[in-house]
């Protein structure tokens, strides 16, 4: 059994895997975020791999139970996550185990972040002058494009970042969740300066987002958790707390780096 310890934003996960090839692949994938040992682990994750298809549970592919545990069932994996107990288990088919394990760990961290008062947020985070600029929107809106155009700065991640409150500020933390078509994440963190909803346009301009519109944009960028209606009131409370400290704008931009001339002026 191979153990891998991850720590993101102070949230530790211990990953146990008896499949040597999968353990080695995950160790390479998460090398920049691994620690030699994690005494303050929040969740212990066990991965198992079978040579055939993983057995499928009846019911929906994604199901919450009354205790807030999450159950997975699909053709190539099944498992569960119990944040309250600090345990999770995933049984994978051998056909595509790395991607399945990576998705599972994203959900584990989404739940951990929520329990810590923050969220896992679907956004690109670029650190410039010690501040994190968060560019967000659905797939295809330009997160990877913006990150590629910002190669002179630290890109924490161009798809998923961890947001946690600290005192009067919110901090963005890099995560190791990426794929080869994206910009490789760079470990680190920084206080969040502004939230920018990307809108591709031939003309460069911005407009502020406030109130219910800003809340809806925030909620739309949270993976998995909004599928549980019981979590939504608390998630909206997190969104209000974040938006009280961090302004949100719609950023209309052409596909070049001139957007920084405008973004630098936004407060």
* Domains of the chain and CATH, by start: 2-115 (no CATH), 119-263 (3.40.50)
Say how far residue 89 (Cα) sits from the centre of its chain: 20
Query: What confidence score (pLDDT) does residue 52 get?
Result: 58
Tokens 């502020």 sit on residue: 208
Output the tens digit of pLDDT for each of the chain's 267 residues. Answer: 678 999 999 999 999 998 888 999 999 999 999 987 655 677 889 998 876 554 544 445 788 998 889 998 877 788 999 988 999 999 888 777 888 899 999 999 999 999 999 999 999 999 999 999 999 999 889 999 999 999 899 999 999 999 999 999 999 999 999 877 788 898 999 999 999 999 999 999 999 999 999 999 999 999 999 999 999 999 999 999 999 999 999 999 999 999 999 998 987
Global pTM reads 0.92
Q: Residue 60's pLDDT is what?
A: 54
> How much is the pLDDT for 151?
87
pLDDT at 57: 46
Token pair, residue 82, equals 């119990």
pLDDT for the residue 58? 47
Whole-number Å distance between alpha carbons of 69 and 33 = 26
- Burial of residue 116 (CB within 10 Å: 0-12, 13-18, 19+) is middle
| Gap between the Cα atoms of 24 and 47, Å rounded | 13
Structure tokens at 183: 């910009």
Provide the pLDDT for residue 51.
66
CA 220 to CA 208: how far, in whole Å?
17
How is the chain classified by DSSP, letter by letter? -EEEEEEETTEEEEEEE--HHHHHHHHHHTGGGEES--TTEEEEEEEEEESSPPP--SS-SEEE-TTS-EEEEETTEEEEEETTTTEEEEEEETTSHHHHHHHHHHHHHHHHHHHTT-EEEEEEEEEETTEEEEEE-STTSSHHHHHHTTTTSEEEESSEEEEEEETTEEEEE------TTSPPP---EEEEEEEEEEEE-SS-EEEEE-HHHHHHHHHHT--SGGGSGGGHHHHHHHHHHHHHHS-EEEEEE-SSTTHHHHHTT--
């Amino acid at each position: 059994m191979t153990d891998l310890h991850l720590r993101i934003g102070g949230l530790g996960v211990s990953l146990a895997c008896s499949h040597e090839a999968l353990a080695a692949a995950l160790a390479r994938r998460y090398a920049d975020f691994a620690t030699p040992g994690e005494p303050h682990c929040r969740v212990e994750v066990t991965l198992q791999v079978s040579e055939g298809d993983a057995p499928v549970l009846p019911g929906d592919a994604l199901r919450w139970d009354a205790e807030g545990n999450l159950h997975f069932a699909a053709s190539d994996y099944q498992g569960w996550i119990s944040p309250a107990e600090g345990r999770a288990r995933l049984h994978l088919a051998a056909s595509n185990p790395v991607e399945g394990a990576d998705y599972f760990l994203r959900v584990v961290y989404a739940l951990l972040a929520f329990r810590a008062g923050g969220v896992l947020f679907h956004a690109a985070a670029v650190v410039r002058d010690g501040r994190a600029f968060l560019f967000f929107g659905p797939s295809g809106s330009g997160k990877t494009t913006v990150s590629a155009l910002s190669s002179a700065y630290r890109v924490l991640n161009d798809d998923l970042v961890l947001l946690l409150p600290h005192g009067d500020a919110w901090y963005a933390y890099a995560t190791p969740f990426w794929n080869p078509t994206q910009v490789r994440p760079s470990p680190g963190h920084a206080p969040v300066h502004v939230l920018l909803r990307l809108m591709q346009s031939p003309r460069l301009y911005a407009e502020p987002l406030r109130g219910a519109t800003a809340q809806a944009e925030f909620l739309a960028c949270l993976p998995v958790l909004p599928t549980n209606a019981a979590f939504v009131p608390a998630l909206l409370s997190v969104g209000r707390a974040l938006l009280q400290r961090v302004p949100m704008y719609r950023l209309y931009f052409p596909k070049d780096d001139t957007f920084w001339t405008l973004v630098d002026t936004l407060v």
